[in-house]
Structure 1
């Protein structure tokens, strides 16, 4: 085959193509996740104030020391974890990057659910 002849069928691509749209999408999703992580770290620990109406012998989870510490520290740890996962997800074009971007909101949602479960029970 010489250079004047084009192949009848194009060869398959070796892998997924990552264009500007994919990069922009990862950046937008990443920035939204980082904002969510920041809000989680700032707002959710305030749920510990649900223990203000606790009295002696109250059996609610938020009235225990462990419950209060969980509500105060779990969201901060989850926010840091989600931020690290997000940065890894933004920087990686491999499957691990997508998995990290999908795991970050799950970590944040879990922190919200656990904290609301303890504070609201």
Structure 2
């Protein structure tokens, strides 16, 4: 059963990796990358349905408790950073990836929607020094 669950989360992570890669593929410069990242956070890429929200949160919880799931988390984070590093240095990419994760959790668990303009401003602030 544990193997099946690992495979299911691995497939979910790959879907999310592919979705982000497709979103970032259209960006040709840093400004377009910022816009793509903003849309990734503010749009339906990560939280398109209650089911996806539940899967995402269950994965975070499981990976936090069970080291055997951290390989999926690491692969997912590395793939996200690789997309971001096409436009920004590795340190900035890591911070943007953390911003994506954090704002996704805030969107998922908060009761007040986050204005997409505020998300865009947060992304811009992160890359100003990059």
Same fold (TM over 0.5): no
TM-score (norm 2): 0.30
CA radius of gyration, larger in: 1
* Structure having the larger proportion of residues in helix: 2
